């Protein structure tokens, strides 16, 4: 009978955030797969956990993943931990989980700290709907594509950033998203935890002078849906009504449906579109 892969969340700063269940699972597991064994040994020593460890990180996730799957198929229970937070959330784990499911191995999560959720709940910005983007891509083209997508994002946006890139990222976000409200959360759960609430521009100016330390989580308000509707209407209004209707006809709609769509876009009734076109026809 195959073993179980346990995704164990570990503290993001404060060791008191370790759960009783996580400690028990780490003690009972046959093996702990850790992102950095040198970092994790301090955590294990603190909680007197003596389970053997092996490294599992971004650069060996395929080769080591196959070996871990073999052990799981032999009946070993393995606990996966990262340097901080929940495995699979901007940390190694996603690939191993996929491999486990492909081999019929049970996977379960031992919940705990996650920097994105911790920061979101402290931000003072809407929490009902949010888009988690983790770190923006380092590849210029991919980064630009993501930023362009975020320009129209109406949900609260959650990003991770390193301190040495924070100011540049805040400035880039303002260029793409406008000067939206944001919260910069640093040193979460630690002694010097801070939440700086301001606009993107104010935050960039502040940290350019202050020089941030510690990993940062950026929470940015989504775009106002009414603004999107208005921008769309402004775009259509630049186009003549006849051209607007013809645009939808060229997309394969019949004239009746094209007029209906154009009316909806412009926030008017279909009758108004029809009357205008009839009037133009008779001139």
- C-alpha closest to that of 117 among 39, 9, 207, 225: 9
Nearest Cα to 48, choosing from 13, 24, 70, 72?
24
pLDDT at 46: 96
* Mean pLDDT (whole number) for 128-140: 94
Residue 255 pLDDT > 90, yes or no?
A: no
Percentage of the chain lying above the pLDDT 70 cut: 99
pLDDT at residue 271, rounded to an integer: 84
User: What are the extents of the domains in the chain?
Assistant: 4-113, 116-223, 226-282
Supply the pLDDT for residue 241.
Answer: 82
Q: Average pLDDT for residues 134-141, to the nearest whole number?
A: 92
Lowest-pLDDT range of 1-15, 20-34, 240-254: 240-254
What pLDDT, on the 0 to 100 scale, is given for residue 89? 92
CATH topology of domain 4-113: Cobalt-precorrin-4 Transmethylase; domain 1 (3.40.1010)
Tell me the per-residue pLDDT of 189-217, one tens digit each, with 9 for 90 and over: 999 999 999 999 999 999 999 888 888 99
The DSSP symbol for 222 reads P
Give the pLDDT score at 10: 97
Give the pLDDT confidence score for residue 282 in this predicted structure: 63
pLDDT at 80 (0 to 100) = 98
Average pLDDT taken over every residue of the chain = 92
222 Cβ contact partners less than 8 Å away, ≥ 6 residues apart? 126, 129, 131, 153, 154, 155, 156, 157
Could you please report the per-residue DSSP string of 113-150? --HHHHHHHHS-S--SSEEEEEEPPSSHHHHHHHHHHH
Q: Measure the N-to-C terminal CA separation of the chain; round to a whole number of Å.
A: 83
Question: What would the two tokens of residue 226 be?
Answer: 């009414």
CB 79 within 8 A of CB 8: yes
Report d(CA 246, CA 90) in Å as an integer.
46
Q: Does the pLDDT of residue 254 top 90, yes or no?
A: no
**Per-residue pLDDT tens over the stretch 80-119:** 999 999 999 988 899 999 999 999 999 999 999 999 999 9
Helical H segments across 32-128, by residue range: 37-46, 63-73, 94-102, 115-122
pLDDT tens, residue by residue, 39-84 = 999 999 999 999 999 999 999 999 999 999 999 999 999 999 999 9
Q: Is the pTM of this model over 0.85?
A: no
Topology of the domain covering 116-223? 3.30.950
Q: Give the mean model confidence (pLDDT) for residues 2-27.
A: 97
């Amino acid at each position: 009978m195959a073993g179980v892969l346990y995704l164990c969340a570990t503290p993001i700063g404060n060791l008191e955030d370790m759960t009783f269940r996580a400690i028990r699972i780490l003690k009972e597991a046959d093996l702990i797969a850790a992102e950095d064994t040198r970092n994790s040994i301090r955590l294990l020593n603190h909680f007197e956990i003596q389970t053997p460890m092996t490294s599992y990180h971004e650069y060996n996730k395929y080769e080591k993943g196959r070996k871990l799957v073999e052990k799981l198929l032999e009946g070993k229970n393995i606990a996966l931990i990262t340097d901080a937070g929940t495995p699979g959330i901007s940390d190694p784990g996603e690939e191993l989980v996929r491999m486990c499911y492909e081999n019929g191995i049970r996977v379960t999560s031992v919940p705990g700290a996650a920097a994105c959720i911790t920061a979101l709940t402290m931000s003072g910005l809407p929490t009902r709907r949010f888009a988690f983007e983790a770190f923006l891509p380092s590849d210029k083209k991919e980064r630009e594509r993501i930023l362009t997508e975020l320009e129209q994002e109406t949900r609260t946006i959650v990003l991770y950033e390193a301190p040495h890139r924070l100011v540049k990222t805040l400035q880039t976000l303002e260029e793409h998203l406008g000067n939206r409200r944001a919260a910069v959360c640093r040193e979460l759960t630690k002694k010097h935890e801070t939440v700086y609430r301001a606009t993107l521009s104010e935050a960039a100016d502040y940290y350019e002078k202050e020089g941030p330390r510690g990993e940062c989580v950026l929470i940015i308000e989504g775009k106002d849906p009414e603004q999107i509707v208005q921008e769309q209407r402004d775009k259509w209004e630049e186009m003549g009504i006849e051209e607007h209707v013809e645009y939808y006809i060229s997309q394969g709609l019949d004239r009746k449906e094209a007029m209906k769509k154009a009316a909806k876009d412009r926030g008017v009734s279909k009758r108004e579109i029809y009357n205008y076109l009839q009037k133009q026809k008779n001139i």
